[in-house]
């Protein structure tokens, strides 16, 4: 079995300038940039409230399953 090594992130994935801000702050910046691109291009690629609700439902279902089957 081989070892793991860090891979470079392709430049096409780096839509914002390199920053030394906290990762959570950068996440918000990427979300706002994706939202701005959607508004500009008439697309819907950025996460939205409906996506967040679905994600929370999935997390809740996982937690309930865990409580039921792994007591």
Tell me the whole-structure pTM to 2 decimals.
0.56
50 touches 58 (CB < 8 A): no
> What is residue 69's predicted lDDT score, i.e. its pLDDT?
82
Distance CA 39, CA 7 (A): 32
24 touches 18 (CB < 8 A): no
Map out the domains of the chain as residue ranges: 20-69
pLDDT tens digits, 16-56:
888 888 988 988 888 899 999 999 999 999 888 999 999 99
Res 11 pLDDT > 90: no
CA distance to 9, 30, 42, per residue, from 53 (Å): 29, 20, 23
16 touches 30 (CB < 8 A): yes
> What is residue 55's predicted lDDT score, i.e. its pLDDT?
93
Res 71 pLDDT > 80: no
Q: Determine which helix (DSSP H) or strand (DSSP E) holds 36, and give its type and residue range.
A: helix 23-41
């Amino acid at each position: 079995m081989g070892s793991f090594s860090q891979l470079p992130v392709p430049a096409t994935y780096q839509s914002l300038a390199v920053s030394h801000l906290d990762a959570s702050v950068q996440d918000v910046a990427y979300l706002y940039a994706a939202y701005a691109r959607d508004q500009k291009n008439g697309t819907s690629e950025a996460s939205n409230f409906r996506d967040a609700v679905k994600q929370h439902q999935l997390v809740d279902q996982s937690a309930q399953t865990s409580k039921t089957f792994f007591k």
